[in-house]
Structure 1
C-alpha cells in the first residue's frame, strides 16, 4: 500500500508511465501464459492447411494427367475400332473370301482360287490364296483397282502376267498372283482388349482448407 501511495504522490505524467508499464506487464503475462496454447493450436492448423493445399495441388496435377490419358485412350480406341473394320475377325474370314471370289468372277475367269496355310504375325494373321485368272488387261486392272480400295485389308504379291495361248476379245492374258486377306484371331483380339483397359476413376482432389 505504501508503494501505491508513493506512486499516487508522484506527478501525473510519472503515474501515467508507471501505470502504462504495469499494463504492458500484465498484458505480456496474459499473452504468454493464456494464449500460448491457442497460438500453438493455430500454428498446427496453419501447418495442416498448408499440407492439405500441397496435397490438393498434387491431386489436381494427377487428375489432369489422368484426364489426358483418358483422352489419349479414347483416341486410340477410336483408331482401334476403325482398324477392326479393316481387319476382320477370324469368324468373318469365310465371308471375306467369298466376297473376293465373287469380285474376281465378276471381271475375270477364275481358273484357280486355292487358300494356303495361314501366316501369323504379332497381332494379325493372314490367309494367302493362290489365284489364277484369265481375261483382258482392262478387266485385270479394274480388279486390282477394286482390291486397292477394298473395305478390308488385302494384298496382292508374286503376280505374273502372260499372254493367253488363245487370244480372244474377252481373253488376252493369263495372270497368277498371291492374294492375302488379313484378319485378327480371337486370342489376339482378347489379348489386345485386356491390355487396353481404361484407368480407374480417381478420387476427387481434396478441397483446399481455408
Structure 2
C-alpha cells in the first residue's frame, strides 16, 4: 500500500506498520513540544536555583565561621570599647582646652624658652571631633626646644605638634614656629 492511498479519516483501517509510524510520529511531536515548552524552562530555573544555592552555601559558610567566633568578637568589642573610652579621656574637654594654653606656656617657660607669640587658630569641625589648633612661636636653644617637644608629648592629653619650622637666629638661639593641635570629641556622638 502506498502513502497516498491512506485514508486519514479512517486511521484504524491502516496497516499496522503505518499506524505504529503515525503513533510514533505523534508521540515524538508531543514529546518535543513538552520538552521545549515545559522541560527547558524548568531546566533554566534549575540552573538559576543551583547558582543561588552556591551563593547561599558560601554565605552560610561565612556566617557559620563568624558565628563560631561570636564570643571572641564580643570580647574584642568590649576591649575596643575600653580602649576607646581611655582614648576619649585623653582628649581635652571644652574646659580643659583653655587650660591647655596655660600648660603649654608653663612647659615653655619651664624649659627656658621665650614665647614670641601663642594664638588660637581656626577651629576645624570634623565628623567625630573638633580640631583646635594653637599657633606658637618660641625662641630658645636646640636642647630647650627638644625638651619642650618632649614635655608636650608627655602631657596627659593628646597634643600633636604639626608644621614645625625651625630657623637659626643669633648666637645659638633658634626660632620654632609650630602648630599644636588637640582634638575635642563631639559629645553629641557619645
Please confirm whether the aligned pair reaches a TM-score higher than 0.5, indicating the same fold: yes
Residues of 2 paired with 1:93 and 1:183: CA distance? 8
**SS of equivalent to 1:152:** coil
Alignment TM-score, normalising by the size of structure 2:
0.56
Whether 1:179 and 2:180 are equivalent positions in the alignment is yes
Question: Residue 92 of structure 2 contacts residue 182 of structure 2 at CA under 8 Å; is this kept in 1?
Answer: no
Contact 1:86 1:152 in 2 (8 A): yes
How far apart are residue 70 of structure 1 and its match? 4.9
Cα shift at 1:94? 1.1
Q: Separation in 1 of the partners of 2:151 and 2:122? A: 25
Does the alignment pair 1:161 with 2:166? yes
Higher RCO (CA < 8 A, seq sep 6+): 1
Offset at residue 101 of structure 1 (A): 1.9
Partner of 1:79: 83
Matched residue, 2:16: none
Are 2:123 and 1:118 equivalent residues in the alignment? yes
Aligned counterpart in structure 1 of residue 137 of structure 2, from 132, 149, 162: 132
Partner of 1:89: 93
Quote the offset at 1:140 in angstroms. Answer: 0.3
1:60-79 per-residue CA deviation (whole Å, 9 max, x = no partner) reads xx9x95x6565344212211
The residue number in structure 1 matching 2:15 is none
CA displacement, residues 40-67 of structure 1 (integer Å, 9 cap, x when unaligned): xxxxxxxxxxxxxxxxxxxxxx9x95x6
Task: Flag structure 1 segments of 5+ consecutive residues without an equivalent.
Answer: 1-61, 194-210
Contact 1:89 1:185 in 2 (8 A): no
Q: Spell out, residue by residue over 1:154-200, the C-alpha distance to the aligned partner (whole angstroms, 9 max, x if none).
A: 111222222223x3xxx61122111112221322xxx2x3xxxxxxx
> What is the 5 A alignment of 1:5-84?
65=70, 70-84=74-88
Deviations 1:119-169 (A, max 9, x none): 12221221111111111111001111222333221111222222223x3xx
CA distance in 2, matches of 1:172, 1:69: 54
- RMSD between aligned alpha carbons? 2.4
The one of 90, 99, 104 aligned to 2:108: 104
